[in-house]
Chains A and B, each alone.
Chain A
Amino acid sequence: MLPLLVAALLGQANDAGTAAPPGAEWIGLPGEAMPPPPAPAEARPPPVSSLPLPPTIEEPLRGSSPSLIYRPETPNKVSLHGGAPLTPGRRAATVAMGFPMLGARAMMGVTPALDLGLSYETLYGLMHDARVVGRWMLWNDGGLYLGVVGDAGPAFFSRLPTNDFRGSRWLTGRRNVNASAGAVLSMQGASPRASRFFLTGRCMLSLDTQPVQTDPLGGTPPAVLITPNLVTEIGLEAPVSEWVALVFRVGMDVHGRADDSLVMVTGAAGVVTALP
Chain B
Amino acid sequence: MSYLFVIPGPLRELAGGRSEVRLDGAADSVRAALTLLGRDYPKVHDRIVTELGEVRPHINIFIDGDSFRDVGGLAAPVRNGAEILILPAVSGG
Question: Do chains A and B stick together as partners?
Answer: no
Question: Which residues of B does A touch, CB under 8 Å?
Answer: none
